[in-house]
Amino acid sequence: MGHFEQILATLVEKALTDLAIPEDQIESARGGIAQDIMAQFTEEMRDDLLRRAPAILKRERRDTQGFEKRNLERWRSAFDLVELIWIVAAELGSNFNNELRDQAQQDNDYLFEALTHLHARALLVSNEALCLMKGGFPDGALSRWRTLHEHSVIAMFLKMHGSEAAHRYLASFDFQALKSARQMREYAERARIELPSDAEIEYLEECCKRWTSKFYEEMREEYGWTFPILGKKRANLFDLEEATGLDHWRPRFRWASQHTHGQHRPAQAMLGVVESTTVSFSLAKAILVWLTHCR
C-alpha cells in the first residue's frame, strides 16, 4: 500500500468507527466515506503526509541512491568515455572562445558568436542527457539527444553559409520572443502568468521592425532566417538536415521524438524497460487505477 493510501485508509477506518456503520454495510459505504473525507479532511491529510515526509523521503532517496550506484557500476566504462569527451569538448571550446573572442567582436563575426553559443548549449544539453542516463532515464536522455541533434544541424548549416546567415540566425531570437510575448498576453489571465508590459511588447516590435527592414519579412517565420538560402518561407529542421547532408539521422530523430510528443507509445517500446518482463502489465494496471480515480 502506498503512503497516501495508508493515510486515506486510516481516515476511512476512523470515519467508519465514528459513524458506527453496521459491519454488513461497511463495504458499500466505503466509497462515499472516502469521497467525504477527501472533501472534509484535506488539511488533516496534508498534515499527516507532512508528518510522515522525512521517513518517506529518506526511504525513497535511499532506494534512488542505491539504484544510481548500481547503474554507475554497471555502465562505468561507457559513462567514463562520455564524460571524458565532454571535458575535452568543454576545454577546447573555452580555449577557442577566450583566445578569439576579442578579435571576433572587432570584426563583427556573427558566425563566431552563433557557433560559440551553440557549442555552449550543446555542452549543457549533453550534461543533462548524462545526468538522465545516470539516473536511469534513458528515454529522457534520448529526447535530450534530439535537441543536441538540432544544435548540430544548425551549427553545420551556419558553418556552410557564413556570417550573414549567422547574423540572421541571431536576430531570429527577437521574433520568437515577440511571438511568445503575444501568446503570454493572450493567455496570461487563464494561465496565471505575469502579463508582458506594453513597453516590452513595443520594444520587441520595434526590434523586429528593424530586422525586417534590414533583411526581409520572411524573418517572422520560425526558420525564416534560412529563406535566402533554402528559398522556403516556412522551412523546417528537415530542410536543414537535407541541406547539410545530415538527413540520414532523421529515423533516429523520429525515434527520439517519441518521448517528447504525446502520441501513443506502448510501455514495452521504452528504453527504460527493455529488460523488464512485467512492465506492460504493471504500467497498464497503474494507468487503469489512475483513470478510475479521475472519473
What's the confidence (pLDDT) of residue 245?
97
For 77, phi and psi rounded to 5 degrees? -60, -40
Q: 168: Cβ–Cβ under 8 A, 6 or more apart, which residues?
A: 215, 219, 225, 226
pLDDT digits (tens, 9 = 90+) for 223-251: 999 999 999 999 999 999 999 999 999 99
Ranges of residues in the chain whose predicted pLDDT is under 50: 26, 280-282, 284-295
What's the confidence (pLDDT) of residue 187?
93
What's the confidence (pLDDT) of residue 272?
81
The DSSP string of 119-188 is HHHHHHHHHHHHHHHHTT-HHHHHHHHHHHHHHHHHHHHHHHHHHHHHHHHHHHHHHHHHHHHHHHHHHH
Cα–Cα distance for residue pair 71/68, rounded to 1 Å: 5
What's the confidence (pLDDT) of residue 295?
42
pTM of this prediction? 0.80
Cα–Cα distance for residue pair 286/265, rounded to 1 Å: 15
The residue among 137, 144, 128 whose CA lies nearest residue 256 is 144
Cα–Cα distance for residue pair 174/172, rounded to 1 Å: 5
The DSSP string of 73-136 is HHTHHHHHHHHHHHHHHHHHHHHHHHHHHHHHHHTT-HHHHHHHHHHHHHHHHHHHHHHHHHTT
* Long-range contact pairs involving 64-71 (C-beta distance under 8 Å, separation at least 24): 64/135, 67/136, 68/134, 68/135, 68/136, 71/134, 71/135, 71/136
All three cell numbers of 258, joined, read 517519441
